[in-house]
Amino acid sequence: MTILLSLQGVSKRFGGLQALLSVTFDLPQGQILGLIGPNGAGKTTLFNAINGIHPPESGRIIFRDKDVTGFKPYQLAKMGMARTHQIVRPLNELSVRENVMVGACFGHENQDLSNASKIAEEVLEFVGLTIRTDQLAGSLNVAQKKRLEMARALAAHPYLLLLDEVLAGLNHSEIDNMIQTVLKIREQGITIIMIEHVMKAMMNVSDRIVVLDYGQQIAEGNPEAITNDPKVIEAYLGDPRLAERLLEEV
C-alpha cells in the first residue's frame, strides 16, 4: 500500500502552550483517518500544520514522497491537498459557482475558467447544491455553507482531503447525508483525514483513528480498539478506576 502522507514527530508550540508534541503516523492512500480528541486537544492545529498555515517547529511532513515541511498553503494546494474549515469561510460576495471555480482553477489541476465552470457544476450536483449555483455564497445557511466548503475542496480533485468538523451544527438527516457524501468521496479514491465530535459517525466511517489529548497522540488503531482503550476513555471521561475507588470509599 502506498503511503500518501507521513507525519514524523510533528511538534508545534504557541508560547507556553505545547499544541502538538511529536505526532507521528502514516496514512495509506485511499483510507479515511479519523482524528478525535477532547476540545483543545490540537486537532485543528494539526490540520494547520499539515496544510502549511502554521508550519511545525520540529518534525517532518512527507506528502506524496516529498518533504513539504514549511510549504505555504497555496503550494500544498497546487500539490493536491485540499481542506474545509471548522468555521466556514465562504467567499460571501461571489456566487456559489464562483466559489467552487476558485477551488478548481487554483487547485492542483490548474483548470481554466470554462473547465472550472463545468467542474463546479459536477461538484455542486455531487454535494447537492445545484439549485443554489447562482446564489451568492453569503446567502446560504450553515449546512449549505458546509457543503460549499466541501465542494470547493473537491473541485480541486485533490489527493488528500482534510475535513474539519463537517458534521458539527448539522441535524440528524443532514449528518446522514453528509456521511453518505464522505463515503462516496472515498470511493473516488480520495484519501481523507476527518476531525469529528460525532462519535457514532466517526466509528462507522473511519478505517483508522488517531486520538489526540493535550497535543499528544495517546492512541492509534481501528475504531473497535480505540473505543476500548483505557487511555481514550480516561481522556474523555476522566479516570474510570478513580471513579470506582471514590465509590468504594463512601
Partner 1 sequence: MKTWQRYSSIILPILAVAALAIWPTITGKAANRESVFTILKAVALASSLNILLGYTGYVSFGHIVFYGFGGYVGLYLLTEQEWSLWTALLAGGLASGLLAFLLGSAILRLRGAYFALATIGINEAMKAFINNFELFGGPTGITLNFSVYKPYGGAAQALQTSFYIAAGLAFLAILLSHFVRTSKFGLGLLAIRENEDAAEVMGVHAPKAKTWAYVLSAIIPGMIGVLFFFKNGNVEPHDAFPLHASIELLVMVMLGGQGTVLGPILGAFAYQGMRGFLVTSDFFKDIQLSVSGALLLMIVLFIPAGAIGWLRHRVPTLRRVLA
- Scanning 5-13, 72-80, 122-130, 221-229 for contacts with partner 1 by CB under 8 A, the matching segment is 72-80
Number of residues that bind partner 1 (CB under 8 A): 30
Q: Is 102 in the site for partner 1 (CB under 8 A)?
A: yes
Report, in Å, the least distance between residue 65 CB and partner 1.
20
CA angle 192-197-200, nearest 5°? 85
Q: Is 85 in the site for partner 1 (CB under 8 A)?
A: yes
CA distance 95 to 137: 5
Q: Is 78 in the site for partner 1 (CB under 8 A)?
A: yes
The 3-state secondary structure of 57-99, one letter per residue: CEEEEEECCEECCCCCHHHHHHHCEEECCCCCCCCCCCEHHHH
Residue with smaller CB distance to partner 1, 35 or 153: 153
Going by their DSSP bridges, the two strands 160-164 and 81-83 should be labelled as parallel
CA distance 129 to 101: 14
Identify the residue whose cell numbers are 462519535.
199
Residue with smaller CB distance to partner 1, 35 or 219: 35
Q: Is 105 in the site for partner 1 (CB under 8 A)?
A: yes
Q: Are 142 and 63 in contact (CB under 8 A)?
A: no
Q: Is 215 in the site for partner 1 (CB under 8 A)?
A: no
Report, in Å, the least distance between residue 151 CB and partner 1.
11
Residue with smaller CB distance to partner 1, 93 or 249: 93
Q: Is 139 in the site for partner 1 (CB under 8 A)?
A: no
Q: Are 51 and 83 in contact (CB under 8 A)?
A: yes
Catalog residues that contact partner 1 under the rule CB under 8 A.
Answer: 51, 53, 72-74, 77-78, 82-83, 85, 89-94, 98, 101-103, 105-108, 112-113, 116, 152-153, 156
